Structure 1
Amino acid sequence: MDLKRLTLPLLPLAEQRRYGDAFRDLHRLRRRIDAVRRSEDELQERIASGMRAGLLEPRRTGGSEPEHAAAVPHIRQT
């Protein structure tokens, strides 16, 4: 195969720009998702650290709170 004779089809310029815009949007979305994940990891670590230090404690179960609220620690009352 002679690569010098190979022809590649090109999209019209307007369509190339449309694809470029879509890929840029996708890249921005991925960066935002990564930032949210980093924030989530940091928050989880801070909560765990607060619980280990005795500054936070798990909520007591058996109350009228929704089930997911029991997983959220609160500031320990001294």
Structure 2
Amino acid sequence: MAGRHIFVLRPDPERIDPYFLAGILRGSRNLRHYTSMSTSYRVDVRRAEVPLLPIEEQRACGEAFRRLEAFQSALRRTAELGEEMTRVVTGGLADGGLRPARSGG
């Protein structure tokens, strides 16, 4: 255990794909299974269920999980940039530095 409620998992890459393991642990089935709700959100990875698949299947699933994580990160970054742009444009309109385009020519 790395700290209070922090676990370090070091899977043997010849036996289990690390991206596969991470994806399975983040999956809704395991979240329902090993999450306890009280006054705080806690996860007990020792209760997680990880399917035993051949390593090649794990690697294929792991790559899909990795790509989904990258996609989710890109979506978060896009949302952050959109919020920043909205703040800048709102500020520009409010202080008179920007004017809306006239419609109807």
What's the TM-score bracket when you normalise by the shorter of the two chains? Answer: 0.5 to 0.7
Identity score, percent:
36
Counterpart check, 1:17 vs 2:59:
yes
- The equivalent residue for 1:61 is 103
* 1:18-51 deviation digits (Å, cap 9, x = unpaired): 1111101100000001101100110011000000
Task: Work out which of the two has the higher radius of gyration on C-alpha atoms and give 1 or 2.
Answer: 1
Cα RMSD of the aligned pairs, angstroms, is: 1.4
2:92 to 39, 50, 55: 50
Moved over 6 A (4+): none
2:78 to 36, 40, 44: 36
- For structure 1, list consecutive stretches of 5 or more residues without a partner in the other structure: 1-7, 64-78
User: When you count helix as a share of all residues, which structure comes out higher?
Assistant: 1
* 1:38-76 deviation digits (Å, cap 9, x = unpaired): 00110011000000000001111211xxxxxxxxxxxxx
